[in-house]
């Protein structure tokens, strides 16, 4: 089969773009990995520093709360002293307004003192916790970074492998079968677009066509490996073909039947011009020969098998 140059160019361009896209995704993954690692390292360093200074920060916060309240008390005492010595009515009014403001601030500070100290303690405990778990948190942050980059690299390798396979097998536009055989089906016509869902063609290896028959225990004793057999097909009633026994199964195939049988595989050595899966074959075993008289047992079986694709080497078998 020959593929047009236009199709080859289109497929090559698509595969090359897939490689470029995969390489771009890899670079992005590498950049994101680097950024994540830098961010995780920054967070790690910050947690370590905050943990090391957590006690000092906590004590400083408590001191600030206490000093703020102490300062308000001092300011209130100072304003009271000024009010006691004031003789100017206007200035006295301003001092009283200031005193009310300071008392309000003091009341608010004393009311929030417990909650402020509790918040400072929580900040301290969180800093200690992050300090103790800084390494684990760092590892969690960077743990998935490598896998994303590895997956992106695998995608690049796969895209390059597809392009290399294309150049190896289809670069000249010709698709060839791996061995000789009979075409049993073609998936496309001229002008069609190839897809991965439909095989280009299927064919059978004439040297690997087999028929498997079930021989009863009464007859199995006269069947031997390499025995020649006669084969006829209902589709070719006037012709006789040859074969030989290639395998005799040791496990019975009786199933639910009371008759015990054994599978015997026969290789068809001469076949019709067109032999399709599903055709019915008559397999004749020569069990006895006496002076110009042949005694035959004829078994009727269906050929069942698998189609061949260029990428497979599975014979038609029953």
Q: What's the predicted TM-score (pTM) here?
A: 0.45
Tell me which residues of the chain have a pLDDT lower than 50: 303-318
Q: Are 281 and 211 in contact (CB under 8 A)?
A: yes
| Residue 266 near residue 229 (C-beta atoms within 8 A) | yes
Distance CA 224, CA 248 (A): 8
**pLDDT score at 309:** 30
* pLDDT tens per residue across span 152-188: 999 999 999 999 988 888 877 887 777 777 777 788 8
Long-range CB contacts (within 8 A, 24+) of 159-162: 159/15, 159/18, 159/19, 159/21, 159/22, 160/19, 162/15, 162/18
Distance in angstroms (rounded) separating the CA atoms of residues 305 and 264: 15
């Amino acid at each position: 089969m020959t593929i047009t140059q236009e199709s080859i160019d289109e497929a090559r361009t698509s595969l090359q773009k897939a490689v470029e896209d995969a390489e771009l995704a890899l670079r992005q993954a590498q950049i994101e990995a680097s950024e994540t690692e830098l961010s995780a390292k920054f967070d790690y360093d910050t947690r370590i520093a905050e943990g090391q200074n957590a006690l000092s920060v906590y004590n400083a916060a408590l001191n600030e709360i206490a000093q703020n309240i102490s300062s308000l008390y001092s300011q209130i005492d100072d304003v009271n002293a000024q009010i006691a010595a004031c003789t100017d009515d206007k200035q006295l009014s301003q001092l009283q307004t200031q005193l009310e403001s300071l008392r309000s601030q003091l009341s608010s500070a004393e009311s929030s003192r417990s909650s402020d100290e509790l918040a400072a303690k929580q900040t301290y405990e969180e800093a200690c916790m992050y300090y103790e778990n800084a390494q684990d948190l760092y590892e969690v942050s960077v743990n998935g970074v490598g896998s994303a980059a590895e997956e992106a690299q695998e995608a690049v390798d796969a895209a390059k492998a597809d392009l290399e396979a294309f150049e190896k097998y289809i670069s000249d536009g010709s698709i060839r079968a791996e061995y000789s055989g009979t075409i049993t089906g073609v998936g496309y016509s001229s002008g069609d677009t190839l897809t991965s869902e439909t095989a280009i063609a299927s064919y059978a290896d004439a040297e690997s066509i087999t028929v498997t028959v079930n021989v009863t225990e009464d007859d199995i004793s006269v069947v031997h490996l390499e025995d020649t057999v006669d084969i006829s097909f209902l589709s070719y009633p006037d012709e006789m073909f040859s074969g030989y026994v290639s395998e005799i199964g040791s496990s019975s195939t009786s199933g639910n039947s009371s008759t015990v049988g054994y599978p015997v595989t026969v290789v068809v050595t001469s076949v019709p011009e067109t032999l399709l899966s599903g055709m019915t074959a008559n397999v004749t075993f020569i069990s006895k020969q006496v002076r110009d008289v042949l005694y035959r047992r004829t078994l009727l079986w269906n050929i069942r098998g698998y189609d061949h694709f260029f990428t497979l080497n599975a014979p038609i078998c029953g």
